[in-house]
């Protein structure tokens, strides 16, 4: 089970360090058999080996070792921190930062060539959900993506549920995760979109669900610890 916190553009270097200290103390006291990950802002990255119970990851990178890509960070920068897991395809990068499927596929191939663990995010906007062509839309987001990569996890994050405080209905999540599972087989499938302490247990109990990617509800370290505790108690 993967429980991942996406900090987005929140938490400074100092508050990230405080957060990770608190999380590490919690995990020292209550060891979790989950794969716990945190994706801080680029300027708040810290040495990954400082926190043995938490995998520190990058929300973004440019698919190059280094070079003339103003404002971006490359593999060299992630390597300096020992970062070995990345998010790719998050809807905020697809929509706000205008990342195309072609560019996302390049990032994916680059991450794969570096052997990084990838959480690959997919999700439909509300109008697609209303039109009924959800799976068609989601499969198109796999264009150029090698689904045979052994370090791949996929996060289904309906755009209309992200940051809204209103998660998708449990039946909607189950239908999409089951359809993904039928094709993606053993690839861990996460759900993201307004996950919180009230709905996590039910979501993780779905047979095709292998974890959660959490934004808002993970911004507070104590709350993230509660989510981890809930995940620990879900029996599959
Ligand atoms: C996310 O952006 O990955 C996310 C799931 O955010 P939230 O939990 O705030 O909906």
Domain ranges within the chain, ordered by starting residue: 2-233
pTM above 0.85, yes or no: yes
Contacts 24+ apart (CB under 8 A), 124-131: 124/158, 124/159, 124/160, 125/159, 125/160, 126/159, 126/160, 129/158, 129/160, 129/172
Residue spans of the chain under pLDDT 50: none
Q: Tell how far the Cα of 163 is from the centroid of ligand 1, in angstroms.
A: 5
> Residue 173 in contact with residue 211, Cβ under 8 Å?
no
213 lines ligand 1 (CB under 6 A): yes
Q: What is the pLDDT of residue 99?
A: 98
Q: Which of the listed residues 2, 4, 8, 95 should we mutate to test ligand 1's pocket, taking the one with most ligand atoms within 8 A of CB?
A: 8
* Topology (CATH) of 2-233: TIM Barrel (3.20.20)
Q: What is the pLDDT of residue 235?
A: 79
Q: Which of the listed residues 216, 219, 223, 224 should we mutate to test ligand 1's pocket, taking the one with most ligand atoms within 8 A of CB?
A: 216
């Amino acid at each position: 089970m993967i429980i991942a916190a996406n900090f987005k553009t929140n938490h400074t270097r100092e508050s990230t360090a405080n957060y990770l200290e608190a999380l590490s103390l919690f995990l020292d006291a209550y060891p979790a058999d989950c794969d716990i990950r945190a994706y801080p802002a680029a300027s708040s990255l810290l040495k990954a080996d400082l926190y043995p119970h938490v995998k520190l990851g990058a929300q973004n990178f440019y698919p190059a070792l280094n070079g003339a890509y103003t404002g971006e960070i490359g593999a060299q920068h992630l390597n300096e921190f020992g970062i070995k897991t990345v998010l790719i395809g998050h809807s905020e990068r697809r929509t706000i930062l205008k990342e195309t499927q072609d560019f996302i596929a390049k990032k994916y191939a680059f991450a794969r060539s570096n052997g990084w663990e990838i959480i690959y995010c997919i999700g439909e906007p509300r109008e697609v959900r209303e039109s009924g062509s959800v799976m068609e839309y989601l499969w198109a987001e796999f264009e150029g993506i090698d689904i045979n990569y052994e370090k791949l996890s996929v996060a289904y994050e309906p755009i209309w549920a992200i940051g809204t405080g209103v998660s998708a209905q449990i039946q909607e999540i189950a239908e999409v995760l089951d359809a993904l599972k039928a094709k993606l087989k053993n690839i861990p499938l996460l759900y993201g979109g307004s996950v919180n302490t009230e709905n996590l247990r039910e979501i993780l109990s779905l047979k095709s669900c292998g974890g959660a990617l959490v934004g808002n509800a993970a911004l507070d370290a104590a709350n993230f610890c509660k989510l981890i505790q809930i995940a620990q108690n879900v029996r599959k």
